[in-house]
Amino acid sequence: MTTVNRETRETRVRVIVGKESDATSVDTSVPFLDHMLVTFARYAGVSLVVEARGDLKHHIVEDVAICVGKAVAAFAPATAQRYGDRTVPMDDALVHCAVDIGGRPFYKGPLPSTLYDHWMRTFTDNASATVHLRVLRGRDRHHVVEAAFKALGLALRDAMRESGSVFSTKGAAIVSGAE
């Protein structure tokens, strides 16, 4: 289980990522974000507890993405499969997501919602992951964004699966120094 807390003048966020058998509970005061996070957790095969409050929807969405990204990065086993790749159809939407949780942050989208595209970019940076999202089809923004969270979750489920060894020709990376 991994816990990340973030408190600023604008927001107060607590995120816990755990095993799928643990309970998931999300309360951010942003109903669509709550729905996306519950969906993400279900498809990623993890439990997720999120408690967030803040002054503006944008600040809440961004700071939750920071905390979820950091928690996922800390929760992933060092000997994870590392890569995941999934395509999800949802009504009119068809979204593909490819993920590498190998420690190099890079995001390529976009999603048809600037707020949730920003969530994906912020999550990616803080998870130190590479995430490529391709919207192959879709007119309904809700369906496209939800399919993206599902595809990300499924791709992460695969990437975080235990492999038994470090999945890199370089071996384990050890990083030291001040932040």
Residue 93's DSSP bridge partners are: 90
Which string of b and e fits 19-39 if b means at least 16 CB within 10 Å? Answer: eeeeebebebebebbbebbbb
The dihedrals phi and psi of 111, each to the nearest 5 degrees, come to -95, 160
Residue 31, both tokens = 């109903």
Residue 114, both tokens = 């600037």
Is the sign of the CA dihedral 74, 41, 60, 26 positive or negative? Answer: negative
Residue 176: what pLDDT? 47
- Domain residue spans in the chain? 2-159
pLDDT over 80 (residue 168):
no
Residue 50, both tokens = 């999120």
Task: Tell me which of 3.40.630.30, 3.30.230.40, 3.40.50.720, 3.30.450.20 is the CATH number of domain 2-159.
Answer: 3.30.230.40
Whether 98 and 85 have beta carbons less than 8 Å apart is answered as: yes
Residue 171: what pLDDT? 59
The kind and range of the H/E element at 25 are: strand 25-27
pLDDT band at 144 (very low <50, low <70, confident <90, very high): very high
pLDDT tens-digit profile of 83-138?
Answer: 999 999 999 999 999 999 999 999 999 999 999 999 999 999 999 999 999 999 99
pLDDT tens-digit profile of 29-75?
Answer: 999 999 999 999 999 999 999 999 999 999 999 999 999 999 999 99
**Residue 107 CB: number of other CB atoms within 10 A?**
18
Residue 6's DSSP bridge partners are: 13
Identity of residue 119: W
- 156 closest CA partner among 89, 109, 88, 92: 88
Q: At what angle do helices 57-75 and 114-127 cross, to 10 degrees?
A: 30
Q: Can you tell me the distance from the alpha carbon of 146 to that of 126, in angstroms, rounded to the nearest whole number? A: 21
Residue 54's DSSP bridge partners are: 11
